Amino acid sequence: MISSENLEFIRRRANYQCEYCTVSEMNYGGELTVDHFHPVSKGGNNELENLVYCCNKCNSYKHNYFPENEDDPRLWNPRIDNYNDHFITLEDGVLHALTNQADFTIKLLRLNRKQLVSYRINAFKQSAQSKQLTQLQDLTKMLKEVNRQLISLNLEQQKLLQEQNTLLRTILNMQEGDPTKWSS
């Protein structure tokens, strides 16, 4: 039995998403489940490093798989293996294996099932939209600053034009030879 404190720790550690396929609780519509990476039925335990937060589909496909001898393929372990060393997500949403371990994991957990591919495509789109929104916000900030500078320059230009106008009047008055009009 996993304590509620440990369950919350496991959920938070996994960022509230399946550590195998990355589907979040929000997209799943509820809490996920906890998988014993090394199944208890095959000698595993309830230690936090053996517990993986995952969706029911991944848990069901993994079932109680664990290599029983050295020749059996090894499943990718999110507790110890770096995701980016094993997988790359292509633009078409397909998860591509970089290692034999990742290839076995993709096949066993069916990580390229239609719904996950669609999920990844949507994630790419949301990421692109988020990036565009950030760029738009940055551009808006820059335009506001440019506008502020233009207003400041306009005020300075008006002041200079007034000074120039005063100076021109003074020069014209001097040319007319009337010293009483030199300072106006």
> Across the chain, how many H-helices and E-strands are there?
6, 4
Q: Are 53 and 29 in contact (CB under 8 A)?
A: no
Per-residue model confidence as pLDDT tens digits over 131-156: 999 999 999 999 999 999 999 999 99
- Rounded CA separation 160/90 (Å): 60
Q: Are 87 and 62 in contact (CB under 8 A)?
A: no
Per-residue model confidence as pLDDT tens digits over 69-116: 999 999 999 999 999 999 999 989 999 999 999 999 999 999 999 999
For the record, the structure tokens of 180 come out as 């009483």
This model's pTM is above 0.75: no
Q: Which of 76, 47, 82, 43 is nearest to 62 (CA)?
A: 76
For the record, the structure tokens of 91 come out as 């633009």
What sign has the CA pseudo-torsion 75, 78, 84, 87? positive
